[in-house]
Chain A
Amino acid sequence: MSVMTYNGAAIIAMAGKDCVGIAADRRLGVQLTTIATDFPKIFQMQPKLFVGLAGLGTDVQTLKNLLEFRMNLYKLKEERDMSPKVLSHMLGKILYSKRFGPYFVEPIVAGLDESNKPFLSTMDLIGATSEEKDFVVSGTCTGNMFGMCESLYKPNMEAEELFETLAQALLSSVDRDAVSGWGGIVHIITKEGVLTKELKGRQD
């Protein structure tokens, strides 16, 4: 099994009208054996900024701690919050700094910038960043997730519709992937705040 499919993951982020949503599965496995069904892959870095990390579990945890550290340093030095674009670029640089011994993670950055406009970006494990207007996916079943997103996505969805779309896209994708699933978690970020819901998924 490849190192990117060792633990299993599925993350989708979508943009709506003045809101973004990010959803992930909850499984942590060791190859085919499921170890945990509550493994966090999405982390709230700031009130309106989320990072989703898909890939090797140990690197997910390490990178999350490293990002928090770098973010705290930034806040102390600059005396302001980090915008999603800056976080995305910083993350890309961190990943490239390990070009010849990379972190086995393919992250997603999702948030609202200063003017509450949605921001989405994804990158590969060595930091090649791509910003998208509609949706980004990462994990072990990207084929499935791309298919679901392309069919279900509509621009300018409101928060409730965005939640439904994200949830359906995620659940249907992971049901065709052996190493991801076992439930889901969705965060919808609007200018009012963050709504978090857990998804009841197939437990097989």
Chain B
Amino acid sequence: MEPLVVGDDILDIGSRKAVDRYCGNKAQLGLSQDLLMGRPGAFDVPNVKDPALYCSSHFRSTCGTGDAGQEIKFAKGTTTLAFKFNGGIIVSVDSRATQGNYISSQTVKKVIEMNPYLLGTMAGGAADCSYWERRLNLQCRMYELRNGRRITVAAASKLLAGTMASYRGYGLSMGTMITGWDETGPQLYYVDDDGTRLKGKMFSVGSGSTFAYGVLDNYYREDLTLEEAIDLGKRAIYHATYRDAASGGINNLYHVTKDGWVKIHAIDVNDMHYEFEEEKRNEMSS
């Protein structure tokens, strides 16, 4: 398989123009026909009859016991959330990575700062998320250079969803939220490894998402103030880390504004536990 050559018009993939342009001199420019049609051609795949089946049964990166039979167990298990409110978007994540029961790290950066105005979150396979989101960043930058303006969040998320769809069945594991503020306002999209792409106001992804949804659904309002929204994002992650064994570590929280994103805080969830315990005690006594 020929490697992908950066600088080619990858955003013309699938169009007539691209096919005409490259069909003749594909060897010179190093782009394979497969890549043009959106099929996975940039990666070496195992030399077997059904590479998709082989990959998904040996290199699958799933939650729970999906990878029970295979030799390689990838780092995963997480809680990430993002919600839109009148003051922008809050993105709040934990920082734990687990391999089976072993906690491989408590300091993973699950918010991928793609560029100063776009954020992506990481849930599922750590390598899958960070690689494909960095690749998305490349595509966004190419778009900017070619078109003289920033890419919209809708278009960026669609590029990612398209890539995921073309690798469907290969056992990739990625549940991410792409957020940013473009000319249409603050936008939040959920994209996952089977090519699902959903636009929404509030999402939570990962093994601890059910716990986070409980807290979010209870207190969410569109007209939250910035302080209330930050507090909500913080609490939802805290409750998820308390109940979910695969989430924990540090809560990294970001705020997406018109002028780009801002990192609000990085607080150890254990410290939050004792802070909230103190709060509960005071409330009970009053």
Seen from chain A, the residues whose Cβ lies within 8 Å of a Cβ on chain B are 1, 5, 8, 29, 31-34, 140-141, 175-179, 202-204
Say whether B207 contacts A34, CB under 8 Å: no
With contact pairs A202-B270, A203-B273, A204-B270 given, residues A32 and B245 touching in the complex (Cβ less than 8 Å) = yes
Closest CB-CB distance, B249 to chain A, in whole Å? 7
Q: Are A204 and B246 in contact (CB under 8 A)?
A: no
As a 0/1 sequence over residues 91 to 124 of chain B, the CB contacts with chain A under 8 angstroms (1 = contact) are: 0001010100111001000000000000000000
Write the chain A residue with the least CB distance to B241. A204
Q: Is the CB of B101 within 8 A of A141?
A: yes
Contact residues in A for B243 (Cβ distance below 8 Å): 33-34
**Can you list 10 pairs linking A and B with CB atoms under 8 Å apart?**
A5-B101, A8-B245, A33-B244, A33-B245, A34-B244, A177-B102, A202-B270, A203-B269, A204-B94, A204-B242
Q: Give Cα A141–Cα B103 distance, bound, in whole angstroms.
A: 10
Give which listed residue, B77, B103, B106, B270, contacts A32 with CB less than 8 A: B77
Do the beta carbons of A176 and B102 come within 8 Å of each other? yes
Which residues of A lie under 8 Å from residue B98 when comparing CB positions? 178
User: Bound complex: CA of A179 vs CA of B243, how far in Å?
Assistant: 11
Q: Which residues of A contact B96 (CB under 8 A)?
A: 178, 204
Q: Which residue of chain B lies nearest to A174 when distances are taken between CB atoms in the complex? A: B103
* Nearest-Cβ distance from residue A32 to partner chain B, whole angstroms: 5
B residues in contact with A32, CB < 8 Å: 64, 77, 207, 244-246
- Find out whether the CB atom of B102 lies under 8 angstroms from the CB atom of A178: yes
| Chain B contact residues, CB within 8 Å of chain A | 64-65, 77, 94, 96, 98, 101-103, 106, 207, 241-249, 269-270, 273
Q: Are B248 and A204 in contact, CB atoms less than 8 angstroms apart?
A: yes
| Cβ-defined contact, B249 with A204, below 8 A | yes
The docked-state distance in angstroms from the alpha carbon of A179 to that of B94 is 17
Give every chain A residue within 8 A of B245 (Cβ-Cβ). Answer: 8, 29, 31-34, 178-179
* Inter-chain contacts of B94 with A (CB < 8 A): 204
Q: Distance in Å from the Cβ of A199 to the closest Cβ of chain B?
A: 13
Report the minimal beta-carbon distance from B60 to chain A, rounded to whole angstroms: 16
Chain A residues, CB < 8 A from B64? 1, 31-32
- For B247, list chain A residues within 8 Å (CB): 204
Measured between beta carbons, the chain B residues less than 8 angstroms from A5 are 101
Instruction: Return B269 CB to nearest CB of chain A, in Å.
Output: 5
* Chain A, interface SS category: loop
Task: Tell me, rounded to whole Å, the shortest Cβ–Cβ distance linking A39 to chain B.
Answer: 14
Q: How far is the CA of A48 from the CA of B198 in the complex (A)?
A: 61
Q: Given the complex of chains A and B, what is the CA–CA distance between A45 and B102 in angstroms?
A: 32
Which of chain B's residues has its CB closest to A181's CB? Answer: B245
Please tell me if the beta carbons of A204 and B269 are within 8 angstroms of each other in the complex: yes
Q: Across the interface, do A177 and B65 meet the contact criterion of CB distance under 8 Å?
A: no
**Interchain CA distance A169-B270 in the complex, whole Å:** 19
Given A32-B64, A33-B244, A34-B243, are A140 and B103 neighbors across the interface (CB < 8 Å)? no
Chain A nearest Cβ from B272, distance in angstroms: 9
Q: Decide: B103 and A175 in contact? CB cutoff 8 A.
A: yes
> B61 CB to closest chain A CB, in angstroms?
16
CA A140 – CA B98 in complex, angstroms?
14
Among A141, A179, A203, which residue has the most Cβ atoms of chain B within 10 A?
A: A203
In the complex, the answer to whether B249 meets A177 with C-beta atoms within 8 Å is no
B270 near A203: Cβ-Cβ < 8 Å? yes
Nearest CB of chain B from residue A198's CB, rounded to whole Å: 14
Give the complex CA separation of A177 and B100 in angstroms. 9
Give A140 to B245 CA distance when docked, in angstroms. 13
Residues of chain A with a CB closer than 8 A to B101's CB:
5, 8, 140-141, 177-179
Question: A203 CA to B269 CA in the complex, in Å?
Answer: 8
Residues of B near A202 (CB, < 8 A) are 248, 270
Residue among A5, A8, A29, A33 having the largest count of chain B Cβ atoms under 10 Å: A33
Residues of B within 8 A of A1 (CB): 64-65
Output the least CB separation between B233 and chain A (Å). 17
> Distance in Å from the Cβ of B190 to the closest Cβ of chain A?
22
Indicate whether A34 sits within 8 Å of B242 (C-beta atoms), given known contacts A5-B101, A176-B103, A178-B101.
yes
Note all chain B residues with C-beta closer than 8 A to A29. Answer: 245
Q: Would you give the shortest CB distance from B235 to chain A, in whole angstroms?
A: 14
Collect the chain A residues with CB atoms within 8 Å of residue B207's CB.
32
13 more A-B contacts (CB under 8 A) besides A179-B245, A203-B270? A1-B64, A31-B245, A32-B245, A33-B244, A34-B243, A178-B77, A178-B245, A178-B248, A202-B248, A202-B270, A204-B241, A204-B247, A204-B248
